[in-house]
Amino acid sequence: MEEAVNSGMRILEQYVRDDYTGYLAPVDAYELDAKTFNSVCDTESPRGILVVCALPDAGAMSFTSQDWLLVLHEVADPGNMGTLMRTAEAAGARGIVLVGSTVDPWSPKVVRASAGAVFHVPIWQIDSLSVLSHTGVRLLGTTSHDSLGVSHIESVYEADLDGLVGIVLGNEAHGLPADAEVDSWVTVEHVGRSESLNVAMAGTVIAMHVARHRTRSAQ
């Protein structure tokens, strides 16, 4: 709650359990008995405070050549979504673009998994990757080894990461389709018997490499 307030989120309403003594947002607080308060929470042991916030507007998708984006294509798991939000903030991404049927970025589980990052990273939602391409973003699709059978897959450590790029991560079960509207394909090379990395792990590895590359280029 404190992170939401510090980020500038507009707090509309605030409710506290009758035994709560912690942080309060700077708006009126309505006290509820424990039974009523707990009945509207989705966790077994709620902290004792709830706030209703206005969803922020990320604004128009307008980028510069210095920006890069994390693009999530039909990512379905709240934990993965929240983790990737934390990754995007830590790695300095301009924002996150959600494509297709992704999990709700403002669902309680996603917000908790993001550890407050959801309040600090702009989030846009679009229907298809082509919408993003039309804004001038060069899209790098991710895949494990050559699991899609597409040609010219390049190690992310050797790929061109300069300019306005979007790192596109696919659904946990199916990944990105082979005919995804991306400009090129990259992979995180690995050894061992595992077929692939978890999407949140792969996204974190790639995002941190992009951040490192950008820092070195700037120097």
pLDDT along the chain (219 residues), means of 10: 89 93 92 91 85 89 92 95 96 95 92 92 94 93 71 86 94 86 88 78 94 85
* Beta-bridge partner residues of 49: 16
Residue 99 has a pLDDT of 95
How far apart CA 72 and CA 75 sit, in angstroms, is 6
CB atoms within 10 A of CB 216: 8
How far apart CA 85 and CA 69 sit, in angstroms, is 11
Amino acid at 4: A
Strand, coil or helix: 68? strand
Strand ranges across the sheet with 49-53: 30-32, 11-17, 49-53
Structure tokens at 183: 């400009």
Phi-psi region at 49: left, alpha or beta (left = phi > 0; alpha = psi -120 to 50) = beta
* Beta-bridge partner residues of 168: 71, 141
Question: For 68-218, CATH number?
Answer: 3.40.1280.10
* Segment holding 4, helix H or strand E: helix 2-6
Residue 145 has a pLDDT of 62
CB atoms within 10 A of CB 65: 10
Residue 93 has a pLDDT of 95
Residue 185 has a pLDDT of 92
Structure tokens at 131: 């919408």
Residue-range domain boundaries for the chain: 2-53, 68-218
Are the C-beta atoms of 155 and 189 separated by less than 8 Å? yes
Structure tokens at 11: 């707090």
